[in-house]
């Protein structure tokens, strides 16, 4: 609860982080929750912040830079 509140306080959209308690016997609940989570996240679209630029992208940019000169 504290964790979810804090991360949403820092700008994570509500609906992106889900918590659930599913027993190994509750396969139908598992399917329901997975469907809910994926549709909620598809609706929100790709996340723009709290996403780190991969090192490969930085390297590509650097080589581009060299190519120009």
Partner 1 sequence: MLTYIDKIRQIAEGFLKEGTVDMVIGFRRGTLPLMNEPCLIKRPEDVKKLVWDSNCGINLANYLTNRKEKIGIVAKGCDSRNIVNHIIENKIKREQLFIIGVPCKGMIDRHAIEALFPSEIEEVVEDESRIVVTGGGVEQIWSKAEVLQENCTICIHRNPVVYDELVADLVVEQKDVDRYEDIRRIEGISPEEKRDYFNDLLSSCIRCYACRNACPLCYCPTCFVDASRPQWVGKSQDPTDIETFHFLRAFHCAGRCTDCGACERACPMGIKVRVLTKKLEKDCLELFDWETGMDVEKRAPLRTYSPDDPDDMIR
Which residues are at the interface with partner 1 (CB under 8 A)? 1-14, 18-21, 33, 36, 49-53
Nearest distance from residue 47's CB to partner 1, in Å? 10
Residue 34 DSSP SS3? helix
The smaller minimum CB distance to partner 1, of residues 58 and 68, is found at 58
Candidates 22, 19, 18; CA nearest to 44 is: 18
Nearest distance from residue 39's CB to partner 1, in Å? 14
Answer whether 48's CB lies under 8 Å from 26's CB: no
What gap in Å lies between CA 38 and CA 47, rounded to an integer? 14
Nearest distance from residue 1's CB to partner 1, in Å? 5
């Amino acid at each position: 609860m504290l964790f979810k509140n804090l991360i949403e306080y820092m700008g994570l959209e509500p609906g992106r982080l889900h918590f659930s308690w599913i027993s190994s016997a509750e396969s139908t609940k598992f399917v329901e929750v997975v469907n809910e989570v994926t549709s909620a996240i598809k609706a929100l679209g790709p996340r723009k912040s709290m996403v780190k630029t991969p090192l490969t992208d930085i390297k590509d940019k650097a080589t581009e830079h060299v190519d120009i000169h």
